[in-house]
A and B are shown apart, each in its own frame.
Chain A
Amino acid sequence: MNSSQDQIQSSGDFFDLLQRSGYRLHSPLENANAGEKLVLTQATTVLAFHYKDGVLMAGDRRATAGNSIMYERCEKVIPIDDYSLMAIAGVPATAFEMARILSHNFEYFRRSQMQPMSTEGKIRALSRLLKDNVGMALQGVGAVSPIFTTYDLRGQKTLIYFYDILGAEFQIHTHSATGSGSPMIRGILEHENLWGKKPLAKRNEAEAIKLAVRLLQTAALFDSATGQARPEDKLFPVIAKVTKDGYHFFPEDEMAELFKKSMSRE
């Protein structure tokens, strides 16, 4: 065992362990002014709202760089642990890396400390990563604005947190959306919640999925960085739920049916 391992290091913080091993979340960008010239791959419309059984999270699949469509099958809702999902908007390179760090962080903590990380700890962990990324975000090369959803085993409730690019966290009691297409649908979400047939929190799973699919299609009509579903190519939005049983992604064949139902006028 080497000298650092001779002392028991049991803080359970994977990010600390990574940094001790020489890893840096981002490279220094001295005098680069990178954001002014680079055209970065970005994304998105992602959303989350409370429904009857928990939280529904959804995202389109398009990644863009300026006016170019770079990728049409991007997974923007990412599992972090058995009870948590993160929906990403912003620069995918940074967002995916944050998701990987977070995922390893929760598992490393659970295994090393022999207890799961508290919900507050999980929420804070993402905030810390975003705070560490402020320099990149402000230089215009690494801004990420995620939504985090987790089931709180102790409190027995599902939680949604929205984060700004500086790392501030906001608990969301109804609905949240982020990404370039989100302004087009935030009003619809609020309208549905206030004056729809039922408040969002009282809708069942089928109703919640229908709304999520329609919202993403609407966002795609107005925002070129949000991708439309293309059933002929088996390309559908990613939709997942977080409930007391953990997270669940609706598979492609199920999505094909759900999408068809959602697109028909009632």
Chain B
Amino acid sequence: MFEEPFRWMEAISTRHSYVREKLQSGQPVIAVPYQNGALILSFSPQPGKIFEVYDRIAMGGLGHPADVEKLRMTLLDMAHLEGFNRSSQDVNLARLLQFGIAPSLKQNFEEVMRAPYLIKLLLLELDRDGQPNFFRLNYDGYWETLKNGGAIAGDEKAMEWIDKKIEETPFATFPLEKALAQACKFWQEGKQQAAGDEEKKDDDPEAIITLKKVFEKWSLEVAVLCAETQRKSIYRTIDSREIEKLKAAVL
């Protein structure tokens, strides 16, 4: 198999199909800037999609929980060792991705006898000037920067739709409450796009995905990186009182 380039390429192509199929049902995760920082959110049947990585870095993931956990721990280890051995100011996402997990992920993906990672990650940081940076990391190690925020989703159509909407919205000028409400709406609309809810509107209105149904069934996870804090770690999860306020605003 390894002597024949075509067989290797075929195997890689099959792996892409396999991973995409496995990720298909992954719920969208959205990260956008707001007036005083950046936020990341997702709805999911069980909590465990949004995490703190380092003082000014957060991540959201979808895919197999064990794989997300492996990469989360790898990022944590790398960030904390770097922060200890040098300085917390030397820890940033570009370095963690470019020199850290992206090459390893690529290598892992192309070693066809090893199980591929079933993941997509969305990473964000507030740099020392208070500017948010967003990155999307794919299961094969490919990563890209997202200027004004972005999304990951198992369904490519939903992801592209949310990305486009985020690009058109001046999130960086919004206060937190408004940015949160808007991001929730995009989450819902992205899901609807993927599910083809437009067509269902007349035939079966009950089947349409709404935020009301999602709030009832699932939990919302939101975290912010807020520049307006004296604490070293600027990561903060939104508490239940703030979520209730958000619900009142969007439902």
Q: Which of B74-91 contact A (CB under 8 A)?
A: 74, 76-77, 80-81, 83-85
B76 near A112 with CB under 8 A, answer yes
Q: Which of A2-17 contact B (CB under 8 A)?
A: 2, 5-6, 8-10, 14, 17
Query: B73 at interface (Cβ–Cβ under 8 A)?
Result: yes
Query: B163 at interface (Cβ–Cβ under 8 A)?
Result: no
Residues of B contacting A18 with CB < 8 Å?
A: 81, 84
A111 near B69 with CB under 8 A, answer no
Residues of B contacting A5 with CB < 8 Å?
A: 70, 73-74, 77
With A1-B108, A82-B231, A107-B233 as contacts: A10 and B73 at CB distance below 8 Å: yes
What is the total of A-B residue contacts with beta carbons within 8 Å?
Answer: 50
Scoring A residues 161 to 184 as 1 if CB is less than 8 Å from chain B, else 0, what string do you get? 000000000000000000000000
B80 near A108 with CB under 8 A, answer yes
Q: Which of B69, B83, B85, B233 contacts A8 (CB 8 A)?
A: B69
Query: B249 at interface (Cβ–Cβ under 8 A)?
Result: no
B73 near A9 with CB under 8 A, answer yes
Q: Report the bound CA distance from A112 to B233 in whole Å.
A: 14
* In the complex, residue of chain A having the shortest beta-carbon distance to the beta carbon of B117: A1
Q: Which of B162-213 contact A (CB under 8 A)?
A: none
B74 near A104 with CB under 8 A, answer no
* In the complex, residue of chain B having the shortest beta-carbon distance to the beta carbon of A104: B84
Total interface residues on A, CB under 8 Å, equals: 21
Scoring A residues 92 to 121 as 1 if CB is less than 8 Å from chain B, else 0, what string do you get? 000000001100100110011010000000
Q: Report the bound CA distance from A10 to B65 in whole Å.
A: 14
Query: B53 at interface (Cβ–Cβ under 8 A)?
Result: yes
B80 near A14 with CB under 8 A, answer yes
Residues of B within 8 A of A (CB): 51-55, 66, 69-71, 73-74, 76-77, 80-81, 83-85, 101, 104-105, 108, 231, 233
Scoring A6, A8, A104, A111 by chain B CB atoms within 10 A of each residue's CB, the highest score goes to A111
Q: Report the bound CA distance from A108 to B81 in whole Å.
A: 10
B104 near A2 with CB under 8 A, answer yes
B80 near A17 with CB under 8 A, answer yes
Quote the shortest CB–CB distance from A97 to chain B (angstroms). 10
Give 10 CB contacts A-B under 8 Å: A1-B71, A8-B70, A10-B73, A14-B80, A18-B81, A82-B233, A101-B84, A111-B54, A111-B76, A112-B73
A21 near B70 with CB under 8 A, answer no
Q: Report the bound CA distance from A139 to B29 in whole Å.
A: 55
Scoring A5, A21, A104 by chain B CB atoms within 10 A of each residue's CB, the highest score goes to A5
Residues of B contacting A8 with CB < 8 Å?
A: 66, 69-70, 73
Residues of A contacting B71 with CB < 8 Å?
A: 1
Residues of A contacting B66 with CB < 8 Å?
A: 8
With A10-B73, A82-B231, A111-B53 as contacts: A1 and B104 at CB distance below 8 Å: yes
Residues of B contacting A100 with CB < 8 Å?
A: 84
Quote the shortest CB–CB distance from B47 to chain A (angstroms). 9
Q: Report the bound CA distance from A108 to B77 in whole Å.
A: 8
Quote the shortest CB–CB distance from A94 to chain B (angstroms). 16
Residues of B contacting A21 with CB < 8 Å?
A: 81
